[in-house]
Chains A and B, each alone.
Chain A
Amino acid sequence: MRSQTFLWIAQRASAAVLALCVLVHLAVIVYAVRGGLSGDEILSRTRGNAAWFAFYSLFVLAVTVHAPIGLRAVLGEWLAWRGRSRDVALLAFAMLLAWMGMRAVLVVFA
């Protein structure tokens, strides 16, 4: 019960973080493409920026926490996939998300 409750809390908390991150992310996209910046110009501004690196790392962390927990409920309710095998698969999925997300963050901001 306790671990399930903490998963639930983690999903709510990560949802709150995501709500903010998505808004900032959308604003950044609109700002970045507004003046017709090229990819190289964008990268020259983002690389080495510690604040944006921290922000997008937090974004990736929130996605890594949020998505697998939501998928856990979907798999249980729609495919009746429950138990340890589901949680192991979702842990692998979380690691995949973290790896893909941080790979992108490192390329753009490191």
Chain B
Amino acid sequence: MSVLRVSVRRGDVWQAFEVPRHESQTVLDVVTHIQRHLDPTLAYRYACRVGMCGSCAMTVNGAPRWTCRTHVDKVAKEGRLEISPLRNLPVIRDLVADMREFFDKWARAKGQFKGERKRSDDCARVSPDSEKRIFADASIECIGCAVCYSACDVVAWNPEYLGPAALNRAWTLLNDERDTQQAARLRAVAGDAGCLSCHTHMSCTDRCPKALSPTAGIAGLKRATLKAALRGDL
């Protein structure tokens, strides 16, 4: 049986492990093997194991990835893996990043839906063919894994920057015809901490495991911000 040489970031040091190689092995399988068989003190986070929950993202060989659906075949170079926590987030321990700031920024970007209909009202009718619905469809599948946030250089340079995921969420809701706080949302995402600071590097789009394009959403927010500013609505 071949062996995988794995370096795991633990605080300030890298710890080396040798993990048995298996067919169809994922990076999360590797980390789980280390914790269950080699060092039970290793801290990491996961939940669903099937790419839905967004909790297992880590930096693998230098790039942020969802580890549960990243096959070792795809990323191991010469049988080596380097695994560290996500960039741009504080580390709680070992591979566990503190996600509070990441989700606080969703809230700051007015990432909450607020409608006006009551339970007794009829359903809102949104045409699947409408431009807004198509835009919302393109961005709505975000699982909040923070891979894009970790990949974003602007987040690294400007800690106040809301980041691709929060802005993608704002764009999704901006295209929700039922939502009632669009003006406040645009105000929240305009400015130095918001969409206007995006450099269009497209690292978020390149790395998003769900193949979304936060860059396109941010461009949409820029257009909406421009229109609102010219109308005097900002």
Of the listed stretches A34-42, A73-81, A94-102, chain B binds A73-81
Interface presence of B196 (CB below 8 A):
yes
User: Can you add 20 more A-B contacts, CB < 8 Å, to A4-B192, A77-B158?
Assistant: A1-B187, A1-B190, A1-B191, A1-B194, A1-B234, A2-B190, A4-B196, A5-B190, A5-B191, A5-B229, A5-B234, A6-B229, A8-B196, A9-B230, A73-B197, A76-B157, A76-B158, A76-B192, A77-B157, A82-B192
14 contacts between A and B (CB under 8 A): A1-B194, A1-B234, A2-B234, A4-B190, A4-B191, A4-B196, A5-B229, A6-B229, A8-B196, A9-B226, A73-B197, A76-B157, A77-B157, A82-B192
Q: Which A residues between 15 and 43 are near B, CB-CB below 8 angstroms?
A: none
- Interface, chain A (partner B; CB < 8 A): 1-2, 4-6, 8-9, 73, 76-78, 82
Complex A-B, nearest 8 residue pairs according to Cβ-Cβ distance, in ascending order: A77-B157, A4-B191, A1-B191, A8-B196, A5-B229, A5-B190, A1-B190, A4-B192
CB of B145, distance to nearest CB on chain A (Å): 25
With an 8 Å Cβ cutoff, the count of chain B residues facing the other chain is 15
Q: How far does the alpha carbon of A1 sit from the alpha carbon of B192 in the complex, in Å? A: 8
Give the shortest distance, in Å, between A76 (CB) and chain B (any CB): 6
Separation of A76 and B154 alpha carbons in the complex (Å): 11
Inside 8 A of B197's CB, which chain A residues have their CB? Answer: 73
Asked whether any CB of chain A lies closer than 8 Å to the CB of B225, the reply is yes
- A44 CA / B157 CA spacing, docked (Å): 50
Nearest Cβ distance between residue B105 and chain A, in whole angstroms?
A: 16
Contacts of A2 in B (CB 8 A): 190, 229, 234
CA distance A82 to B158 in the complex (A): 10
Tell me how far the C-beta of A74 lies from the nearest C-beta in chain B, rounded to whole angstroms.
10
B119 to chain A, nearest CB (A): 35
For the complex formed, measure the closest distance between the CB of B18 and the CB atoms of chain A, giving whole angstroms: 41
Do A77 and B154 form a contact, CB below 8 Å, given A2-B229, A5-B234?
A: yes
- A72 and B106 alpha carbons, distance in the complex (Å): 26
B-to-A contact residues, CB < 8 Å: 154, 157-158, 187, 190-192, 194, 196-197, 225-226, 229-230, 234
Contacts of B229 in A (CB 8 A): 2, 5-6, 9
- Docked Cα-Cα span, A8 to B194, in Å, equals 12
Residues on A with C-beta less than 8 A from B190 are 1-2, 4-5
| Chain B residues with CB below 8 A from A77, complex form | 154, 157-158
Give Cα A73 to B197, complex, Å.
8
Please give, as numbers and ranges, the residues of chain B lying within 8 Å of A73 by CB-CB distance. 197
B226 to chain A, nearest CB (A): 6
Closest A residue to B228 by beta carbon equals A5
CA distance A4 to B154 in the complex (A): 17
Asked whether, in the complex, the Cβ of B196 is within 8 Å of the Cβ of A5, the reply is: yes
Contacts of A9 in B (CB 8 A): 226, 229-230
Closest to A12 in B: B226
